[in-house]
Structure 1
Amino acid sequence: MPFTIEQKVLFRHCDPAGIVFFPRYFEMINDATEAFFEWLEYPFEKILAEGGVPTAQIEAQFQNPSYHGDILDIAVSCLKVGRSSADMKFQATCRDQLRFLAHSTLVHTGTTGRSAAWPESLQTSLRQSRER
């Protein structure tokens, strides 16, 4: 069962027609990523004190529009964990209708800004999250 976060579509997410402006989905994905790491008990504050976890690649498929007031369920899954990277999947639905599907690659960086191995406890948590 993947980690899921609820996201209400707010006024700030929408264009004048009341439909989510697609770049706002990337903000929602980032918020879901941050909540996912909280769920792993390794919050971004801890990661950022040691380096960072930037998104190196992201792609999305927008299936159906979302509107102001909709409640999106964003499921986050870790598909693959490497030495310093993690492939992530995001699936947003509203009332069982797929709204978007996205994949990203996160890279753990050290204080120099270069890729660095995940801390062992976090790498273990990422691997275990695939089995939850």
Structure 2
Amino acid sequence: MIFESHKLIRFAHCDPAGIVFYPRYAELCNEVVEDWFREGLGVDFHEFHEERRLGFPTVRLEMEFLTPSRYGDVLAFRLGIARLGKSSMELSIEACRGEQIRLRIKLKTVLVSLDTLRPRVIDDFWRKTLLPYVQGGEAA
């Protein structure tokens, strides 16, 4: 399964050249992950962090910029899990306008306790919740 979230490229996302300023893509990526938790996984970030005391901080971020995006473009961000490990997952995110891929993102996160900031094993509840998004069946 792929989660999809649409984002309007706003004036504030752009640099003086009129294209998306690359750090803004990291912010949009984080918005997409938040959207996925709320809409796809059924747990919003507030509940995940404040009530469950869990986090999935980023430990690696790779971005490949294929074609510039401009103010007014609406991009479809498509998210899937490329790899689900014992305590980590690697997300694969593409930002597209129509069928044209503008950006590819690889995002590795690790499940941690917010109380100890130590990694936690992805338990049965989270594994069952995440498995539908695993692409190609790669889960440890």
TM-score bracket, normalised by the shorter chain, equals: over 0.9
Q: 1:41 to 1:78 in 2, by over 3 A?
A: same
Residue deviations 1:77-120 (CA, integer Å, cap 9, x gap): 01221121111000011122110001011111102111112243
SS in 2 for 1:33: helix
- In the alignment, the residues of structure 1 paired with residue 100 and residue 119 of structure 2 have an alpha-carbon distance, to the nearest angstrom, of 37
Q: CA deviation at 1:128?
A: 2.1
Match of 1:95 among 98, 101, 106: 98
1:113 matched to 2:117? The reply is: yes
TM-score under structure 1 length normalisation: 0.92
Counterpart residue identity of residue 90, structure 2:
D
Q: Equivalent residue for 2:41?
A: 40
TM-score under structure 2 length normalisation: 0.87
SS in 2 for 1:17: coil
Following superposition of structure 1 onto structure 2, how do residues 120-131 of structure 1 map, counting pairs within 5 Å?
120-130=124-134
Counterpart residue identity of residue 15, structure 2:
D
What is the percentage of aligned positions where both structures have the same residue?
Answer: 31
Q: CA deviation at 1:130?
A: 2.3
Q: Equivalent residue for 1:61?
A: 64
SS in 2 for 1:20: coil
| Contact map agreement 1:47 1:53 (CA 8 A) in 2 | no
> 5+ unaligned residues in a row in structure 1: which ranges?
none
- In the alignment, the residues of structure 2 paired with residue 95 and residue 5 of structure 1 have an alpha-carbon distance, to the nearest angstrom, of 13
> 5+ unaligned residues in a row in structure 2: which ranges?
136-140
Which stretches of structure 1, 4 residues or more, deviate above 4 A after TM superposition?
Answer: none
